[in-house]
Amino acid sequence: MDLENKVCRYYQLKQKQKEMESELNDLRHDITNHCDQQGVAEWEIGSYRVKVVQQHRKEYDHTKLYNLLPDPQLWRLLSKPDTAKIASLLKLRIIAEEQIKDAVSLKTVTLLQVDKK
């Protein structure tokens, strides 16, 4: 397969991927809405087991975090609020949770799991 065909195939697959992701988002939305309306987080339907899980994720406010961590060397380590880097700095006790508490908020994310029995 020559390079032009590879580029063409790549483009085609990326278009399919976008279509599939869009359809998955629509289906996920419909299924989680149904769960909310029925007040259930788990159920079985046909040969499938469905589970909706609420997950909380931290999001950091860039400006507030910068103001709370004025040390330029610490800020260079962060460069932008990266949750994984911040978690590592907290775990290593380089920064304290108390020090950045005003720059963090919790975001609730709904996860959908569908397994075949």
pLDDT tens string, the chain, 117 residues long: the values are 898 898 888 889 988 999 999 999 999 999 999 988 999 999 899 999 999 988 888 888 888 887 887 777 777 776 677 888 889 999 999 999 999 989 888 888 887 676 666
* pLDDT value at residue 3: 83
* pLDDT value at residue 114: 66
* pLDDT value at residue 116: 64
Distance spanning both ends of the chain, measured CA to CA: 40
Q: CA–CA distance from 81 to each of 57, 78, 87, 90, 98 (Å)? A: 13, 6, 10, 13, 16
* pLDDT value at residue 16: 94
Alpha-carbon dihedral sign for residues 60, 63, 66, 67: negative
